C-alpha cells in the first residue's frame, strides 16, 4: 500500500455506487472516493469517479489546507480502485479490499 495509507471501508450500494475510504497516519479524517457505474444494467462495469476525493482537511493558522502526503497517497489508491472496478468483477475487487485489511459493506 502507498505511503502507509490503509483501506478502511468499502460500501457498495445496489451494484451502482461504491464508496471507498482510506486512512493515512498524517490525516485527521478518512479520505473518501465515490464511484458510480454509469451502465448498471450492462454485463460490463463502466465506473467513473463521481466526485473529487474528500478529505483530509486540516486547520492551519490562516486557512483550511490539504494534507499533501495523505491526499497524494490516497489519490494513487483511488486511481488503482478505478482501474480495478473497470477491469475486475466486483466480487474480486471486494476480496482484494478485504485482503488488504479493509471492511466491505454491501447494500
Residue 2 and residue 7: Cα distance in Å, rounded?
11
Tell me the average pLDDT across 86-91.
Answer: 92
Residue 24 and residue 5: Cα distance in Å, rounded?
4
Q: How confident is the model at residue 29, as a pLDDT?
A: 82
Pairs from 58-67 (Cβ < 8 Å, separation ≥ 24): 58/27, 58/28, 67/24, 67/26, 67/27, 67/28
Q: How confident is the model at residue 27, as a pLDDT?
A: 79
Cell of 26: 498524517
In the chain, what are the domain boundaries? 2-101
Q: To the nearest whole number, what is the mean pLDDT of the chain?
A: 85
pTM (2 decimals)?
0.84
Amino acid at each position: 500500500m502507498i505511503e502507509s495509507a490503509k483501506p478502511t471501508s468499502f460500501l457498495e450500494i445496489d451494484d451502482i455506487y461504491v464508496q471507498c475510504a482510506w486512512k493515512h497516519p498524517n490525516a485527521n479524517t478518512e479520505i473518501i472516493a465515490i464511484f458510480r457505474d454509469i451502465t448498471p444494467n450492462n454485463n460490463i462495469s463502466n465506473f467513473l469517479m463521481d466526485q473529487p476525493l474528500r478529505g483530509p482537511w486540516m486547520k492551519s493558522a490562516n486557512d483550511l489546507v490539504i494534507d499533501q502526503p495523505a491526499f497524494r497517497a490516497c489519490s494513487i489508491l483511488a486511481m488503482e480502485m478505478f482501474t480495478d472496478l473497470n477491469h475486475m468483477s466486483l466480487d474480486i475487487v471486494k476480496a482484494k479490499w478485504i485482503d488488504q485489511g479493509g471492511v466491505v459493506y454491501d447494500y
